[in-house]
Chains A and B, each alone.
Chain A
Amino acid sequence: MIIKHPLLGPRDAAEFVYLGDANMIKRPEGFGENVEEAMYEHVYLRENPAGEHHELWYHEQGDRSWLVVTRNTLTHEISSVELARDVARRKGRSK
């Protein structure tokens, strides 16, 4: 596969390491009352869609960017690639 890195252009997927569903960005709060259930779902349950999938790839053999890749799990077609940091900020993550 080829991933079009937003900064570095097209790169062979072999340069990357795959993590999984981009929902991993939406880490719930880990400290406080009753955080266990939300974290359990976050850590263990997956949508696992047959179709469009937002997923995290890490450019380990490159610039060490984490990317959010939108890829179809039936055809492997990639429709968008973004820096994960941009996605994270858009989802409200900050410090």
Chain B
Amino acid sequence: MRYNALSILKQGLTGNKGWAPAWREPDPKPEYDIIIVGGGGHGLATAYYLSNKFGMKNIAVVEKGWIGSGNVGRNTTLIRSNYLLEGNQPFYELSMQLWEGLEQDFNYNAMVSQRGILNLYHSDSQRDAFARRGNAMHLTGSGGVMLSEAEIREKCPYLDFDNARFPIKGALWQQRGGTVRHDAVAWGFARGADMKGVDILQNCEVTGFQIDNGVCKGVETSRGTIRAKKVAVCVAGSSGRVMSMAGMRLPIESHVLQAFVSEGLKPTLPGVITFGAGHFYVSQSDKGGLVFGGDIDGYNTYAQRGNLPVVEDVCEGGMALMPMIGRARLLRMWGGLMDMSMDGSPFIDRTHIGGLYFNGGWCYGGFKATPASGFCYAHLLAKDAPHPVATQLRLDRFRRGAPIDEKGAGPQPNLH
């Protein structure tokens, strides 16, 4: 069923009773060519691109709960392609380009809203680092400009310019950055994959891998054994837990990132703003809530909840940056599990086990990567070769001495 204004008109006049399910609820088949483990944004995007762009058939997505219940359903909805390093920036630029055509492509309005992202800086060395980064962005055609304090004042007069502990000196601005309605991304990809015959199997938890002589032949699930030629794990946040079933240790720790939303407020913010002197970033949703976040809690956890010190730290950043939000109320806070990798960058790669593939390590930056992650993973699965923009996102990069460490924080996941 194609969505458009006409279908809304027609359904509206007939009581909205003719809408079809956005996806089927099939039973598992005994075997698939490709099983994608994880019905989150990245897994569904992978299924979508495999079926829609790489001509693959006989694909299933297995999801332990309901699709979109992982980090695609609990993030701060940011998109941007303002990275620094060669291993990352072309990948995120591909992702941005995919975002830009996504909705027409999968016939679902995910509200891709390129209202810009403002990265504030507060010192000369931060400015220099942003200049290096901004230039790297230009090398991939991602755009970006440096804004002066005066230009920021004009754009966001309510920021603390005059009484700040760390005065705002300028900003890196990427107009193409912005936000996307996160749940709709999962639903759009799911619907698009389903239309091409991908079986989306919800409430189907993987409980083990069938590994035979170093080759993965399928998965054990709560809905029975399902055989597959290729098994593609895509469960960021739970990668440690799932890959341990294949006997693998990863360069990843699981951490919790809290996120926050305020009560609905009349629109004020132009796009995304990130504070350069504290852990705080914020945007405003189409419904009016301030959506904001900051640092991870910093300790290993698989509990999807955090603690108060980080809540306070984030709100301190918010008040230091925008003292007008003091009387706005925090409505809801939640925690998402992050695959924090050893260099802050992700993996899209084969494993040493035949037929078993791994996509994870997205730290707290996975949402913006969703389309490119799916596209590049689909490329790897379909062609058994990494996509050109994902050649560095390999599991062996630490053994080779080639981390992709944007922050220079080193092999300690909670510093990235």
Binds B, one of A25-33, A70-78, A84-92: A70-78
Known pairs A20-B412, A40-B399; A46 contacts B298 (CB<8 A): no
Closest to A36 in B: B399
30 A-B residue contacts at CB 8 Å?
A: A14-B309, A18-B298, A18-B299, A18-B414, A19-B412, A20-B414, A21-B300, A40-B398, A43-B411, A44-B399, A46-B240, A46-B249, A46-B252, A46-B413, A47-B244, A47-B249, A48-B250, A48-B252, A48-B253, A48-B300, A49-B240, A50-B302, A53-B300, A55-B299, A73-B254, A73-B300, A73-B302, A74-B302, A75-B303, A76-B303
Q: B251 on the interface (CB 8 Å rule)?
A: yes
Residues of A5-48 whose CB lies within 8 A of B: 13-14, 18-21, 40-41, 43-48
Contacts of A40 in B (CB 8 A): 398-399
Closest to A24 in B: B412
Per DSSP, chain A at the interface is mixed
Among B300, B398, B413, max chain A CB count under 10 A is at B300
User: What is the CA–CA distance of A43 and B412 in the complex, to the nearest angstrom?
Assistant: 9
Query: How many B residues, CB 8 Å from partner?
Result: 24
Question: Nearest 9 CB-CB pairs, A to B?
Answer: A48-B240, A14-B309, A45-B249, A44-B398, A44-B251, A50-B302, A18-B299, A50-B241, A73-B302
Q: B213 on the interface (CB 8 Å rule)?
A: no
Contacts of B414 in A (CB 8 A): 18, 20
Contacts of A20 in B (CB 8 A): 253, 300, 412-414
Closest to A42 in B: B411
User: What is the CA–CA distance of A71 and B399 in the complex, to the nearest angstrom?
Assistant: 30
User: What is the CA–CA distance of A45 and B249 in the complex, to the nearest angstrom?
Assistant: 6
Contacts of B250 in A (CB 8 A): 45-46, 48
Q: B107 on the interface (CB 8 Å rule)?
A: no
User: What is the CA–CA distance of A71 and B196 in the complex, to the nearest angstrom?
Assistant: 46
B371 to chain A, nearest CB (A): 27
Do B303 and A73 have beta carbons less than 8 Å apart?
yes
Do A44 and B411 have beta carbons less than 8 Å apart?
yes
- Name B300's contact: one of A13, A43, A45, A55 (CB within 8 Å): A55
Q: B34 on the interface (CB 8 Å rule)?
A: no
B190 to chain A, nearest CB (A): 27
Q: B342 on the interface (CB 8 Å rule)?
A: yes
Q: B135 on the interface (CB 8 Å rule)?
A: no
Contacts of B300 in A (CB 8 A): 20-21, 48, 53, 55, 73
Do B412 and A46 have beta carbons less than 8 Å apart?
no
